Structure 1
Amino acid sequence: MSKIAMIIGVTLILTFYGGTSFYIGRKIYQWLKLLIPHINGTTYVVIYGFFALSLIMVFLPLPTAIKGLMSWIGSYWMGILIYLLLFFLVADLVIWLLSILKIIPTPISPNIHFSAGLAAILLTISFVSYGIYNANRIKNVSYDIEMEENAAGMKIVLVSDLHLGAVNSEKRLENVVENINNLEPDLVCIAGDIFNDDFNTLKNPEKAIDLLKSIKSEYGVYGSLGNHDGGKTFNQMIKFLEKSEIRLLNDEYVVIDERLVLFGRVDPSPIGGFGGMERKEITEILASLDTTLPIVVMDHTPTNLEQYGDEIDLILAGHTHRGQIFPGNLITNAIFDVDYGHYQKDADSPQVIVTSGAGTWGMPMRVGSNNEVVSINLY
């Protein structure tokens, strides 16, 4: 990406965020004025501005402790902002339609504006509260996949999108590992986004290493790189995975007990790069694979699935989070051929399983999706 394109992109994002923040801040202030007529405008601007700027302050060269606090506040604010925007827009739209249809009189009375604002705020509180609660739960999901005889009877456990370093990620890891071990897997696959862009955001790497090392699996734990597993701290991430006894497959494959081939892809769009490593052409690797065995592919992002032909039996992916919070699922469903669950285009195409992930990115919330550990029973 050129510097000019980057500047334009950043400018558009900041403009949109600034406009959105102004709209929401103004709506809340107007509502508070109806509730508390003598509210101090300056005090409100300072308090609201602190929260609105928390998302931006994360990118400034601040002391680690302050940056961590801003990241924590900004993560929650992101989810709150989305729902305030959604519900205030809906409230304004409803009022406008009712006034056009002459169901309510114009000019609009303060009582109607107050009720609409109250509804938007209460709905935001409800959705955000549920989202925080739901993000702290881990759901187990199971699929039965028909496979060639060699692999029949094998159980694969799939997780992705741990986003270690994100809010509550390390606390959640203990439950994820416990769920994995309770499933007694033969093989564990971690399909990308193990980290959350910056290794230094992990609060206790050694504890996370011990947890990951405690995963019990007959044939080991394998991982592939996701788009958030790169950047300036990429080498630290690699060392962490080595200590955690997770074997990365960077456009490489391994034969599991002469029963199946496990092939891990490098993500095509790393944020900050993978230290110069780039994704290889699929044809280079397929030529060397033993196609007499079932082939399972870990490919973090479920795009361009047509690149895989009938020589591939199963693709394991993540990335989409299933939108993470409603209405994000409507967007991911429109973008991807499959944004969640089991999919097979036709009888000659590989089967695909996309997990919604075991962690959260950005806002530590889940609405309309779940953190999950996936059990895949081959028969």
Structure 2
Amino acid sequence: MRVSMFGFGRLSAEGKVGIASGVVFFSMLISRTLISERVDKSTRALLFRVQFLLFINCLLLLGSLYIWKRVVRRLCGVRASASPVPHRCWRIFVLLFLSCAHGSYLCMFFLVDTEPHWLSMLTFSCLGVYVILLFFLFVFGCLKRIGKLLSRSRSGEEVVAGGSASQTVLALLVTAILAVYGLVNAAQPPRVVEVEIPVEKLPESLNGLKLVLLSDIHLGPTVGRSKLQHVVTMVNELDPDVVVIVGDLTDSQVSRLRSAAEPLGQMKPRLGSFFATGNHDYYTADIEGWFEFLHTMGIESLHNNHAKVFRPEQAGDWICLAGIDDLEARMLRYPGHGMDVEKALSGCSAESPIILLAHQPQAAKQALQQRPDISLVLSGHTHAGQLFPLTILAFLMNPFFCGLYRVSEHSMVYVTPGTVYYGIPMRIFSHSEITNIILKRGKEN
């Protein structure tokens, strides 16, 4: 009775799930703000992952209710008892599909190993199909409503937002085509993209220096050793001077992915390999463990600091290669971590070019506002959207989306679409990339 008095009992299922999503989301914000650094990192990481899992599944439940109404009720009718056997089989199939999508992020907890587990690949593939289908069901439903408004048609009684059965079938067809394309596209080796970038103050001895850029490898439930081994082989074939990994190397702890990450030790750049953190590296709550592991692999971690890159025969000519912690390190209250541009560049010579590794384009923008003397910022994070329609969100939420941008007369930003993918083994309207950057002397030289 009391619940009904407050109106909660009269809410629709979508309304109740929406309220639950809001509660979980605000609990995430509150816990991030109030939990002190005295709480050990593993506990905070576990709390964050559980909250994130609950939040994601609340959002997925909203979408699942929407999909069920359009894909099952619209096609099979409301009364299950009146449905023939094919309709009942269709209901079971859709229910299993939705269950797989909901279970995908559980794989982050239980199914991370040297190579991806088949169940991880299945559930994350279902999540990709889920996202595409939800988008097209919603878009076709909106188009139907707009069409009715424009035509001022009053024919037909109350219509559900999902539109007619024919629109649902069309959404299913488009989703199937895009999902197959996305799976095949993501399974292809990364493209090698060569980009020449002019850099002011670049010494003659470093003119033509080859810097290979990697990002967003996301070792975890759907990316394992074999994919990384292939990437490393392709990198070595480019015969680079320098290799940089700009964040999101991993989605789990070193103890679970040590064997999967071992091919990193096979990279053979002449002047060194370097790593800067991404947001997902902090989600593992094991960043120090990864720093130690990468050190054993011959990769230097740039934790708000820099390294001098030079050819042995010309030690006086060098590039300041700096790396900053990811933006979310401070938001996650990760002890001893947080983006600090001034600290990273402290000691860089005014006569030498500065190349900054900053995982998120938003961090690249902030860094250039603080230090306009940065010659080049290398970022990732966006995946070039990876999966349509997430492309739209990635484009709107980042100041730099993908490719090369000239920010000022003296500064440029390059954003890679990523070397592999995150979670969902699909790429739609984007491609994995290994970027072979050739540094050239700028005009002032």
| Same fold at TM > 0.5 | yes
**Cα distance per residue 1:167-202 (max 9 Å; x no partner):** 134332122112212221111111111111444553
State the aligned residue count.
371
Alpha carbons of 1:200 and 1:29: their partners in 2 closer, same or farther (altered >3 Å)? farther
TM (normalized to structure 2)?
Answer: 0.74
- Asked if the contact 2:327–2:339 (Cα under 8 Å) also holds between the matched residues in 1, the reply is no
- Asked if the contact 2:379–2:416 (Cα under 8 Å) also holds between the matched residues in 1, the reply is yes
Deviates more, 1:275-284 or 1:322-331: 275-284
Deviates more, 1:40-49 or 1:299-308: 40-49
**Cα distance per residue 1:353-377 (max 9 Å; x no partner):** 1101102112111111111000111
What pairs with 1:27-176 in structure 2 (closer than 5 Å)?
Answer: 27-30=70-73, 32-33=75-76, 37-38=84-85, 39-40=87-88, 43=92, 47-48=96-97, 50-55=99-104, 57-58=106-107, 71-100=120-149, 101=151, 106=156, 113-137=164-188, 138-147=190-199, 148-150=201-203, 151-176=206-231
- Asked if the contact 2:225–2:261 (Cα under 8 Å) also holds between the matched residues in 1, the reply is yes
Q: CA RMSD in A?
A: 3.3
Task: Quote how far apart the aligned CAs of 1:57 are.
Answer: 4.3
SS at match of 2:404: strand
SS at match of 1:276: coil
What pairs with 1:229-378 in structure 2 (closer than 5 Å)?
Answer: 229-230=281-282, 231-257=284-310, 258-270=317-329, 276-279=335-338, 281-304=340-363, 305-308=365-368, 309-348=371-410, 350-378=411-439
Please tell me whether Structure 1 or Structure 2 has the larger radius of gyration of its CA atoms: 2
Alpha carbons of 1:368 and 1:214: their partners in 2 closer, same or farther (altered >3 Å)? same
Task: Quote how far apart the aligned CAs of 1:142 are.
Answer: 1.8
- Asked if the contact 2:137–2:168 (Cα under 8 Å) also holds between the matched residues in 1, the reply is yes
SS at match of 1:22: helix
Deviates more, 1:75-84 or 1:37-46: 37-46
Q: For 1:303 and 1:133, how far apart are their aligned partners in 2? A: 31
Q: For 1:149 and 1:14, how far apart are their aligned partners in 2? A: 50
**Cα distance per residue 1:333-366 (max 9 Å; x no partner):** 2222211111122214x21111011021121111
Q: For 1:63 and 1:187, how far apart are their aligned partners in 2? A: 34
Percent sequence identity over matched residues? Answer: 24
- Asked if the contact 1:54–1:73 (Cα under 8 Å) also holds between the matched residues in 2, the reply is no
Alpha carbons of 1:22 and 1:153: their partners in 2 closer, same or farther (altered >3 Å)? same
- Asked if the contact 1:76–1:364 (Cα under 8 Å) also holds between the matched residues in 2, the reply is yes
Q: For 2:208 and 2:272, how far apart are their aligned partners in 1? A: 17
Q: For 2:107 and 2:275, how far apart are their aligned partners in 1? A: 29
Q: For 2:330 and 2:170, how far apart are their aligned partners in 1? A: 39
Structure 1: which 5+ runs fail to align? none
Alpha carbons of 1:56 and 1:160: their partners in 2 closer, same or farther (altered >3 Å)? closer
Q: Give the residue type in structure 2 aligned to 1:118.
A: V
Alpha carbons of 1:8 and 1:232: their partners in 2 closer, same or farther (altered >3 Å)? closer
SS at match of 1:376: strand
Q: Give the residue type in structure 1 aligned to 2:367.
A: Q
TM (normalized to structure 1)?
Answer: 0.85
Deviates more, 1:364-373 or 1:225-234: 225-234
